[in-house]
């Protein structure tokens, strides 16, 4: 089964709907709070929020922003 990594600021905002949906779906997910703006160049699209779906082997299958 896939797992998810959600990257966003530690605040209620655009990311709250995603947090609620992941929790309601009862899927395995973790949350990361990147240091901003230092981590901006390391994000897949240079912005937040980011949702990464990882396959069983840990490789990213899908990245959304």
pLDDT tens digit string along 13-62? 889 999 999 999 999 999 999 999 999 999 988 999 999 988 877 676 77
The string of DSSP codes covering 7-65 is E--SSSSTTHHHHHHHHHTT--EEEE---TTTTGGGSTTSSS-EEEEE-TTS-EEEEE-
Question: Rounded distance, CA 60 to CA 65, Å?
Answer: 14
Q: Give the closest residue to 32 by CA, choosing from 24, 56, 18.
A: 18
The single residue listed with the structure tokens 């990882």 is 54
Whole-model pTM: value is: 0.85
Of 6 and 63, which is predicted with more confidence? 6
- Predicted pLDDT of residue 58: 67
């Amino acid at each position: 089964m896939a797992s998810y990594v959600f990257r966003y600021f530690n605040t209620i905002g655009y990311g709250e709907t995603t947090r609620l949906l992941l929790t309601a779906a009862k899927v395995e997910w973790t949350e990361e709070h990147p240091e901003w703006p230092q981590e901006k160049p390391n994000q897949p699209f240079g912005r937040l929020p980011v949702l990464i779906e990882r396959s069983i082997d840990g490789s990213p299958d899908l990245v959304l922003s």
